Each structure stands twice: as C-alpha cells, then as structure tokens.
Amino acid sequence: MATSTYDPCLLITNGRREAFGIVGLQTDDTLAIGTPAFSGAEDAALQKANFRAKPKERLSKEVSLEFNGCTLTLRGDTILLTQKGQGAKIEIIDPKAANRAQKYMEQRARGRTLRRYANLKHRSIFPRLRKYNNLRTQNTPAIRPLDLATAKLVVFTDGSFANNQDLSSQLGYLLILANESSRQDSTFDIRGNVIHWSSTKCKRVTRSVLASETYGMVSGVDIAIAILTTLKIITGRLGLPPIPLIVCTDSYSLYECLVKLGTTAEKRLMIDIMALRQSYERREITEIRWINGEDNPRTHSRKQHQIAR
C-alpha cells in the first residue's frame, strides 16, 4: 500500500482497481473502505501472518461505527460524524477538592478529544467548551456523496491585517471537495464536504493588507497541494481524471499580481507571489478566482473565531 502525502497513517492500495481500498489508522483503531476483493485479501493476509485482529464491523443504517473518539452513522446517502458524549462530561472542577488533580487530568483529556474532533488548534478552547457542548447536536458534520469524476478541490483563503488584540494578522483558509455548477452570470455554486480548515495568527510581520492575503493564500495552497497529491493517487487507482485545484480570494490586488502579472512595492512579498505564479503556470493550480468578500466563507468563519477569542 502507498502512504498518503498528507497523512502517513492514511494508506492506499497499489494493486488493481478490483482490489481498491483506503485504510486510516489511529492508535488501535482502523477505518477502511474498499471493495470485497480488498477485504478478502486483507483477511487472507492476516491468516497467513497468524495475526489476531478485532472482528470487522460494517457501517450500515442499523450499525454505527466508532473511530478516533467519534461515531459514524449512516443516514440515507449521508454519513454523520458525532463525538461520543465527551462534551456532556465537561464539568467545573472544585479547586478545594481532594481529588482536584485527578479531575483536572480527566477534564484536560476530554478537552483534547473535543479539540481533535472539532479540528480546533487553539489553546483557548476551554472557555468555549460550554458553548460547544450546548450546540454539539446542531453542529454535527455531515459527509455527503460526491461525483469524483467531476469533483474539484476548492480553496478559500483570507487574511486580516492587524485585527487581533496584539495588532497581529489573522490568516485562514478553507478546503472543500465539491461538485460545481456554473451559471451564466459569472457565478458558481458548489456542493461538497469541508475536508480541512485553519485559522491561525500570523507569526511573520505584515505591513500591508496584501501581505496578509498573500501569506493566507500561501498557507492554503501549500496544504491543498499536499491533499491534492493524495487525491490524485486515489483517482489514478480508480481510473478517474485528476481533480483540479481552484483557489478563491477576495483580494483583487493579489488576484492581479497572480493572474494579470501585476507587481508590488513590497519586494519581500515577490518570493511568495512568484512561487504562486509558478504553481499556476505549471497547472498545479488549475484556476485562480476573485470572488466577492461577502461570498467568501473563510471571511465569516475568521470573524467568528476572532469574536470567540
């Protein structure tokens, strides 16, 4: 099996299309999707190696699966992802109790589980756990089926200039694997699944809005190409065309620098801009689009994150 370029714990088969399979590993849990031929070959390999393994459980409308602290439920043609009640166990610790150290360790472990489930990478998670606990049933992620033959990897990037309390910039991106439907009025609709997102404080000094937007796009494109390489392995095994990468930004200045070969007075930005141009010329980035700021989902999520902090 081949290792994913994005996650070394994600494995993809190298064999023929009839025995296709994808396996995700997490500690002592394994989540796999594959053809009956792949499942049979796996059982045969375990028997040949004389390894003992847990009995397989198959996801269905009647049977749910537990993996990595989450529960997978099949509802129609959609898979729902929910956490296993860790949010309901969050409670206030009595600092005067004799077992306060043990309680602190328990609550901290539950916080890490929720952070992994929600893909939150910020240390300020605990003040927001109560709010997350109250809204956990309404915010159940749903994994919807897609047509891989026409799917696109769409990246929405955004950056705010000196909007944090310490006057630092906030960078963010959102990756969606989606099917697109275009309109005649130069607009497009997408329907798909969010596969990755990030909203982090920029550690580099930014002296302009263009710098914040550029650093945000560089971060988003970097992780998008890593994921896109894995997707190309999957589509190649299935005999499907490669998935194109679409980058969307609401900064017209950055769009002109990349597509219309514009220039900037900040020479230190030209290295990042030239790297993006090179990826665009090599067709690693299929298309760069300028969109309205009100239609950028990354803008709204970044603002909500800043308010939560």
The CATH number assigned to the domain with range 147-307 reads: 3.30.420.10
Better-scored residue on pLDDT, 136 or 206:
206
pLDDT at 116: 57
- Mind listing the pLDDT tens digit for each residue in 18-56? 888 888 888 778 888 888 888 888 888 888 888 888 788
What does pTM read for this prediction? 0.73
- Mind listing the pLDDT tens digit for each residue in 297-307? 766 554 544 43
pLDDT at 308: 41
pLDDT at 130: 46
Mind giving me the DSSP string for 167-214?
A: S--EEEEEEEEEEEEE-TTS-EEEEEEEEEEEEEE--S---SHHHHHH
pLDDT at 132: 43
pLDDT at 246: 93
Q: Does residue 295 have a pLDDT over 80? A: no
Q: Where are the domains of the chain?
A: 1-56, 77-145, 147-307
**DSSP helix/strand/coil, 265:** coil
Give the pLDDT band (50/70/90) at residue 156.
very high
Mean pLDDT to the nearest integer, 95-121: 71
- Phi/psi at 115 (5° precision): -65, -40
State the Cα–Cα distance between residues 292 and 198, nearest whole angstrom.
20
